[in-house]
Amino acid sequence: MEKSQLQNLFIDKNMGTILFDEPMKNHTSFKIGGPADVMIFPESVGQLIAAIKLCRENNVQFYIMGNGSNLLVRDGGMRGVVIKISEGLNKIEVQGNNIYCEAGALLTGVSRTAMSNSLTGFEFANGIPGSIGGAITMNAGAYGGEMKDIVTKVRALDTINKIVEYTNEEMNFRYRGSKVVDDSLIVLSVEIGLKPGIYEEIEATIKDLTFKRTSKQPLELPSAGSTFKRPTGYFAGKLIQDSGLRGLRLGGAQVSEKHCGFVVNIDNATCKDVLQLISVVQKTVRDNFGVELDTEIKIIGED
């Protein structure tokens, strides 16, 4: 389908905000990426499902994204449709010791809600710059906690547009993976189970973890978080540092001087800059230590 035909397909549809030729760099924490042919911001589950159905009925490729905190979009952008689950689907409700949240709710928002209700168990996620839907998809974790530890139910849309619900045990959570990845599901909402806690202790833990993040991670610069997965028996950042690559720069991309496990956008970097730098880092670490560094960030789009 030609781009003009594709865009005409979505004109005047009641699916939330719809933008054409929208730069993806405006929607990722890396601040990198070419234009999406069509970008949709649904404001309800009904609008989200309607957009997905329209794509599937017309054989239009589509990509579901959350907060864009782990994405590197290529400079040619995205063909087809990008559906961003964000502010329009971010409701958070407390139900006893459980918190119900729609897929677009930000992890920091859920954490703050838990704290304000003196519920403990979600402190680890405060400061992770992603949405609950993305966190479920990749079983996000930090500082000894993971989503698999606190999720009780996941509601999702399957490949035949049926709404399905899974328990924690059925989600096949693992390191950076889940049933969402296995079965190409689209997360709609999540229920997490927490425990009653003491507000002051929860607040103190969040402050401590926030300090650890801000003091050790380059949060002041655009990035997609940790660039590389942790190789078995090693730490990616230390391998990169010990290879003498701290601060290495190619174009507008740089190995962070603050934490070598991060590649940062220091000066209007392109995706090409970042990929070239990643390749240099991987080769250097492989040559020095015989260790393969796999990327943790998700690389999408066209050159």
Active site residue 296: yes
Q: Is 116 a catalytic residue?
A: no
d(CA 261, CA 224): 11
- Laid out side by side, the sheet with 186-193 consists of 92-95, 98-102, 186-193, 151-157, 163-167
Q: Read off the tokens for 222.
A: 């655009």
Q: Name which of 303, 300, 297 is nearest 63 in CA terms.
A: 300
Are β-strands 78-84 and 62-65 bridged in parallel, bridged antiparallel, or unpaired? parallel
Unique residue bearing structure tokens 């594709």: 6
Q: Which of 176, 213, 246, 286 is catalytic?
A: 176
Distance, CA of 226 to CA of 72 (rounded, Å): 12
Q: At 164, which helix (H) or strand (E)?
A: strand 163-167
Active site residue 118: no
| Closest of 269, 237, 236 to residue 250, by C-alpha | 269
DSSP per-residue string spanning 63-132: EEESS-TTEEE-TTBEEEEEEE-SGGG--EEEETTEEEEETT-BHHHHHHHHHHTTEES-GGGTT--SBH
Tell me how far the alpha carbon of residue 183 is from its chain's centroid: 18
Active-site hit among 43, 203, 257, 296: 296
Catalytic residue among 111, 178, 189, 226: 226
Q: How many residues does the chain have?
A: 303
Q: Kindly tell me the burial class for residue 152, based on how many C-beta atoms sit within 10 Å of its own C-beta (0-12, 13-18, 19 or more).
A: middle
Give the catalytic positions in this structure: 176, 226, 296
